[in-house]
Chain A
Amino acid sequence: MNKNQSNSNFKKQLRSFGAAFSDKGFRDFIIRFLSTLFLLTIIYEAYLWFTEQQRELDWITYKVSELSHALATALGVANCEFSCFMDGCRIGVEGKMINVLEGCNGLMLALVYASYIVGSGGWKWSSLAQVIIGIIVVQFFNVLRIGMLVVLRDLGGDIYFFFIKYVFNVLIYISILFLWILKPYVDRFFEKPNEA
């Protein structure tokens, strides 16, 4: 194939951009994914607005911080302090504190994960179960990540601190992919009692 031919093929494919949306399965996935993400984000934002009106920190950020503090203490960080304010929590040893803000609670990641589950399978009981399991897995890695960051900050390794942040991101992303891989098996598990 010469260069002109491959160029015209590329242009043809680009022109048929809308063709992806004539694929019903793909179009339905995109619509379900975005509408679920929209709906869950609205609910979450409404909850954040409500807690802000109450002049409180949201429960998820508080719990993630509290568990991370417990993990850091269990891992041997002496005099590990923990204090929360309206905009987030501070964990660690005096002078080496870590700020855990609302954006660090991992919930947006869990919502995108949930949107894929609903986007590919629709609203089903098995989807709900997978969303709950997914949120627990994401939060488990998140607590592990923040707890480890507190420990590393205490040990004084700034490079490790920087490094571990991204290592845990890779782990969280891979765990989400594994949960998606398990989806057909979970669906089958939930379908079996109905078939009987």
Chain B
Amino acid sequence: MKLRDFGIVIVYITLHLLSSMQMDYLQFINQTRDFFDIPVALAIGTTYKVIIAFAFLKIQKVELIYILPIIGLALITRIVFHGPFPIGILAGWFFLYTRDTENQ
């Protein structure tokens, strides 16, 4: 993996976790463990995370036709299976990345 691509991954994860930190802080000050108790923050936080993921994939030169399914995959991973959203994004991206590298 190129150092540039690895650096972009680090920046993406950091930006994602910064928004998670904000959400956790909101949970803390609202004294709740359920995000649905703060629905507006949940909607804004999710939109922000999707935008960051979109920007990450776009910067990594992933075609738009793949970006939407990858974001869909990550959302399913998060909402249906309660898994981590960025790992869903990284899984989709890394699959395409290794395939393209092998083909070159």
Contacts and interface: CB of A to CB of B under 8 A. Distances in A.
Real binding pair: yes
Interface of A: 10, 13-14, 16-17, 19-21, 25-26, 29-30, 33-34, 37-38, 41, 103, 108-109, 111-113, 115-116, 119-120, 162, 166, 169-170, 173-174, 176-177, 180-181, 184
Interface in B49-104: 63-66, 68-69, 73, 76-77, 81-84, 86-88, 90-92, 94-96, 98-99
A162 B68 CA distance: 32
B21 interface: yes
Contact of B88 (A112, A162, A180): A112
Contacts of A10: 64
Nearest to A180: B94
Contacts of A112: 77, 81, 83-84, 87-88, 91
B54 to A, nearest CB: 13
A108 B95 contact: no
Contacts, number: 92
Size class of the contact patch on chain B: 20 to 34
Given A108-B84, A170-B17, A17 B65 contact: yes
B65 A170 contact: no
